Structure 1
């Protein structure tokens, strides 16, 4: 006999995730308007994240003027953030709404791995871009000889390889023993040992935070000194240095706001990080960082607004459109 639902003493209605399966988990039935509001929010943020990062990817890929080492790094960041908006945001959003897992046992094991790889790679891209900006501000005369596209590509590959290996290390038990990810049909939890959580805090919070903040402070100091000497010659260069410092400062702030709450929750809630509403909220905040990145790295610059206009008006399909001048309107 199939069990479709049950009611407890507090008149809360529960349904089975898979009514025709006796091993199915149960779920609490929520009002319909809650589902609608949250689904609309998740869909909007996901589409917005994919749209913004696609604009960045198409812009850097299509226009020859944007084929620089810095933009190659931004391209890698946009790819990671695109995956977040395309895959991680919708699934993590559904986990936030639905207590049941409807994506199967295999994807239950693979999804956390994809999550860790992409989010770690995104963080690595932030660090590499910070280093690139530091070299550009601190040693502008030798920047072209120290930083080129080949080295940028190498750093990107190394970053993604590290993210893959690191995520495999952190989630080794979960991938090797997938049966630990559920106790009934329709459940998907991620259990990480406390030692791994502490390691993750050191690798993806403490160390990157120290690096980025240190680089930011040095950029501010150098940019301020350079601005005093350059102001008498040209305001354009001084403004460029100030923009680099200001942009990186926003990066630091958004990075801290998105990552610190997650690790506080992970260390406070405990080892079971997959079945906690608080942890799922923190995961979602991490994903939101991928929506902010294209705004920080691209929309602050006029070349992005110009390239986006060309893309949205379909002018990129014109002959030789890849050679359009994106900096002609800059002053």
Structure 2
């Protein structure tokens, strides 16, 4: 929802006088010589360059980082697992956020005008919501996957299969896309706000108002998966702590081969759960302020200043670039995969069978 939009007929003079009638101040419009144009908030050229670089870097990082995640998981056969396919699908949502949403939002934020047409405004907003909710649902299913893997690692492969992973991916995408597009294209989001929307409608604006009912529904769609994730990761932490103590007590004794294998599997699954738990925490830190802000605005009359809103929105957008950085920091295999992709070694023969978990990587010709 783009705030603090002022409307003046551009056929009028492009100046405004202050209250005491002294020196007039110039007024800029999104579309000069167009009646009903939105007033443009002007920044200095230097500050605009800084904003474009900051927002553009976020979009580039989201696109390139998540593209590397998808290529890594889909190309290397060693990474073909139900859990990793969920991660690849999550990376796809973040990639699309960086490729189809963030560039247009960047222009809107810096120029304070929407230059891409009314139809695309609604389409852009629908995509924005879709990728957000798709990420939430993916992270929720990933937390369920990690919970099963940590609590019962030996039978986990028979519980969370490729078909189960595929259904989770399909549900995450279909529900997110159906919900977002149906809300914005049916217009139920601004029922009861017709006067406000009419007052804020101008040429060069992209105003998406959401009434109190749908703000609460949006918040529930965020809150319920969030509670599931928090509860499961708390349980994972407790189980992991218990397993670590058990393995430590076994280390002084002679272990059977099955016990040693179970210890290695448990350690690997705990590390994966910890890494993805950090990704979930980063998501919540980024998106929680946005959902709180939307509730406050809906019930207090959209009082949030424009610059505060833009900061909150771009905090959410930058989350799409965070997951690849988290994976690169905690997963050695991801760093090795990036090296192989960037150096072009993925185009050599049999590169898909490379052992990414080995310290020494050999590329077969």
Query: Normalising by the residue count of structure 1, what TM-score does the alignment of the two structures yield?
Result: 0.90
Tell me, yes or no, if structure 1 residue 77 matches structure 2 residue 90: yes
Tell me, yes or no, if structure 1 residue 221 matches structure 2 residue 221: no
Tell me, yes or no, if structure 1 residue 259 matches structure 2 residue 268: no
The answer for the alignment partner of 1:68 in structure 2 is: 81
The alpha carbon displacement at 1:176 in A equals 9.7
The answer for the alignment partner of 1:185 in structure 2 is: 203
Taking structure 1 as reference, are residues 308 and 16 closer, same or farther at Cα in structure 2, changes over 3 Å only? same
The answer for the alignment partner of 2:14 in structure 1 is: 5
The alpha carbon displacement at 1:34 in A equals 1.2
What are the superposed Cα offsets for residues 102-133 of structure 1, whole Å, 9 maximum, x if unpaired? Answer: 01011011111111111110111111111111
Taking structure 1 as reference, are residues 3 and 83 closer, same or farther at Cα in structure 2, changes over 3 Å only? farther
Taking structure 1 as reference, are residues 51 and 4 closer, same or farther at Cα in structure 2, changes over 3 Å only? farther
Taking structure 1 as reference, are residues 44 and 3 closer, same or farther at Cα in structure 2, changes over 3 Å only? farther
Gaps of 5+ in 1: none
* Contact 1:46/1:90 (8 A) holds in 2: yes
The answer for the alignment partner of 2:221 in structure 1 is: 203
Task: Count matched residues.
Answer: 329
The answer for the alignment partner of 1:314 in structure 2 is: 344
The alpha carbon displacement at 1:250 in A equals 1.6
What are the superposed Cα offsets for residues 136-156 of structure 1, whole Å, 9 maximum, x if unpaired? Answer: 111111111111222211210
Q: How does 1:1-331 map to 2 (within 5 A)?
A: 5-9=14-18, 12-174=25-187, 183-204=201-222, 206-231=223-248, 232=251, 233=255, 236-237=264-265, 239-270=267-298, 276-297=306-327, 299-329=329-359
CA RMSD across the alignment: 2.7
Taking structure 1 as reference, are residues 246 and 261 closer, same or farther at Cα in structure 2, changes over 3 Å only? same
What are the superposed Cα offsets for residues 150-179 of structure 1, whole Å, 9 maximum, x if unpaired? Answer: 2211210111111122213432444899x9
CA distance in 2, matches of 1:184, 1:256: 34
The alpha carbon displacement at 1:91 in A equals 1.9
CA distance in 2, matches of 1:273, 1:252: 30
* Contact 1:14/1:29 (8 A) holds in 2: no
Gaps of 5+ in 2: 1-9, 361-365
The alpha carbon displacement at 1:328 in A equals 1.2
CA distance in 1, matches of 2:313, 2:177: 19
* Contact 2:76/2:351 (8 A) holds in 1: yes
Deviation larger for 207-216 or 5-14: 5-14
CA distance in 1, matches of 2:100, 2:118: 17
Taking structure 1 as reference, are residues 323 and 153 closer, same or farther at Cα in structure 2, changes over 3 Å only? same
Taking structure 1 as reference, are residues 267 and 175 closer, same or farther at Cα in structure 2, changes over 3 Å only? closer
CA distance in 1, matches of 2:216, 2:303: 13
Query: Normalising by the residue count of structure 2, what TM-score does the alignment of the two structures yield?
Result: 0.82
- Residue aligned with 1:15, SS: coil
Deviation larger for 253-262 or 100-109: 253-262
Taking structure 1 as reference, are residues 133 and 176 closer, same or farther at Cα in structure 2, changes over 3 Å only? closer
- Residue aligned with 1:28, SS: coil
* Contact 2:189/2:210 (8 A) holds in 1: no
